[in-house]
Structure 1
Amino acid sequence: MRFKHKTVVVTGAARGIGKAIALQFASEGAVILAVDLPSGEFRAADADLRALAPESRSLDLDLRDPAAIVEFFNRVEADYGGVQVLVNNAAVSRQVSFANLTPDAIDEITMVNFRGTLLMMQHAGRLMRTARSGRIVNISSIAGKGFRQTSNIAYAGTKGAIIAMTRIAASELGQFGITVNCVCPGITETPMMREWLERQSRDAGTSKSQTLRKLVGTSALARATAPSDIALAVAFLASDEACNITGQSLNIDSGTVWD
């Protein structure tokens, strides 16, 4: 119960990695504030979350809306007195080639992945500075470190920006007892990955299982990453055991890239 009585905000918690992270923290005693866009998936995830942590809540939040982010943190401060852990997981992408990436797609990817993450860190960081403690864990990607099998160049660019922002935020917030780290998943079994896998398979003229075996075969462990693998790493970085770790980007990718 490492997070008993702690308030943990998890973005993009409706499915995949975000849902796994929320459930992991809930299983360790946290009160979860799960945020995502409204959907049937999000309602189903809320039922699973409350089964583990009845005091947790699922709240609709559009990271493209700066005013909504301000309102959310005002509510968090009023209702919970602050936040001890922020996990920035929400992200969007498009399965599109370099030549066909449109300005509208670039704007949406940037607004959610880059600006949304930055604003969430900024507002959570203000509350954490007052408390002089806190943990921020951002979800980047090995695409942000140059892994070529990415959904598109804009997605990879925003994920690289998250790594850089993590380091700058860590340097600025460290004096207040706040750590900031990020996790870089590899090929992970999520709905987003399955969409990407379909495109790769279609382009290569192979089945999805064949494409996946070829992709994960390049990793040291020759397996795909599970959302639970990411959730365990995030929980570690948010725990007291990681109190002396900050500004780091940890690859959870079965040994696909080395840095």
Structure 2
Amino acid sequence: MTRIAISKFGIRRAGIAIFIGAMLIAAAGGSTPALAQTAPTTVVLVHGAFADGSSWDKVIPLLQAKGLNVVAVQNPLTSLADDVAATQRAIAQQKGPVVLVGHSWAGTVITQAGNDDRVKALVYVAAFSPGDGQSTSDLNKDYPTPPGLAHPQVDAAGFLTLSYDDIAQYFAPDVPKAESNLIAVIQGPVRGANFDEKVTTAAWKSKPSWAVVTKNDQMIDPKLLADSAKAINAHVTAIASSHVPMLSHPKDVAAVILEAVEAVK
């Protein structure tokens, strides 16, 4: 009889333990969204035309030093849709909030890709920021053709590249010659028709935006950059830089990105 009583007591204790365990599992499951919300911010960096992801190599360690996750997208530069898809894949891989950063042509890319709910802020670095139904060319049409785009090299498939001389003189004149030569070697050819492809919904309408306006830019008219930043109500930082401030003024660019990160925490 005693042995049976002990067994019943043991069974009762086991049942209580199972119940408590189930409650703990349910509680843990209920807290999953909160855990997701506390995941660290990721900065997704999107390169522009005549470049690749390595164009951010001076900014990346500055952001990582602040404890941020950083991802640099490799755009194929074959169409707006293709570049948006590459950027969206990078965004989708992140568990926490995203600050989306675009340089030059990639301003158009992040304007479309930034509609993802994970994206909390946009940063335009010497970048285009078209509105609904606008293309990059639509933004350019009311401004003078910048000297850096006067004579691009065009292949039979309609892809554009820049010569060593044009990169050194117009694209990146404020970096050492060895560095501009490297840019020329690794540049990503961009399909010229990309610039006529239109954004459907501009993310800057619903997301806070920051803009780096490059006052010495010879690839995008500086007035276009300033006017566009004003049009999207961006927080503006003007830098006496060429078209590649992330290479010639990486600390200034990193500071703007960090400002955006802090603002949306």
Same fold, judged at TM 0.5 (above) = no
TM-score w.r.t. structure 2 length?
Answer: 0.41
TM-score w.r.t. structure 1 length?
Answer: 0.41
Structure with bigger gyration radius? 2
